[in-house]
């Protein structure tokens, strides 16, 4: 029984034949004459400079259907083969960043808080910081003061001294 367009659904793994290769991917002909594109980023788990290094025209390949939009079918070879876990998929945050996993569940390794993972101030965090972060107004005031201090010698050099003419 030939495969029809309605049988091509995202998530399904099907067999296809490489019909053509371009610099941005490969066209795969599925059963029933349906043609889909495997983008170069979906060829392999490693960096792909040239698609021809991984597949050739006429090769039979297993592909996973990523999306179907009208007659356009997006396919993936790398997601069709059961390989090592994909980068940053299904692993704890600390493991992905090669940090030791803490025993006590420290805020620093909490994946749900962007501030926690970036090392910013946290109450009760120990030697990281003893005072809370300054407000935006405080930071702006400090910047303006420092900027003015740096500019003063330059202004003094460039502006001629004004004398009182009416003395």
9-27 residue pLDDT tens: 899 999 999 999 999 999 9
Residue 27 is predicted with a pLDDT of 94
Residue 9 is predicted with a pLDDT of 87
CATH architecture of 7-76: Beta Barrel (2.40)
Residue 156 is predicted with a pLDDT of 81
pLDDT at 159 over 80: no
Residue 110 is predicted with a pLDDT of 46
Sign (positive or negative) of CA dihedral 54, 60, 62, 64: positive
Q: pLDDT by residue (tens digit) across 29-77?
A: 988 888 999 999 999 999 999 999 999 999 999 999 999 988 889 999 9
User: Where exactly are the structural domains of the chain?
Assistant: 7-76, 85-152
pLDDT at 114 over 50: no
């Amino acid at each position: 029984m030939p495969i029809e367009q309605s049988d091509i659904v995202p998530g399904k793994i099907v067999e296809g034949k490489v019909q053509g290769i371009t610099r941005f991917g490969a066209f795969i002909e599925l059963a029933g004459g349906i043609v889909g594109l495997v983008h170069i980023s979906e060829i392999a788990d490693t960096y792909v400079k040239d698609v021809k290094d991984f597949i050739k025209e006429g090769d039979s390949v297993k592909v996973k259907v990523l999306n179907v939009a009208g007659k356009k079918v997006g396919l993936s070879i790398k997601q069709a083969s059961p390989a090592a876990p994909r980068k940053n998929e299904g692993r704890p945050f600390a493991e992905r960043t090669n940090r030791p996993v803490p025993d006590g569940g420290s805020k620093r390794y909490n994946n749900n808080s962007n501030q926690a993972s970036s090392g910013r101030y946290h109450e009760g965090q120990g030697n990281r910081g003893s005072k809370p972060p300054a407000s935006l107004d405080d930071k702006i005031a400090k910047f303006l003061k420092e900027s003015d201090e740096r500019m003063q010698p330059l202004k003094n050099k460039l502006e001629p001294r004004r004398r009182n003419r009416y003395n």
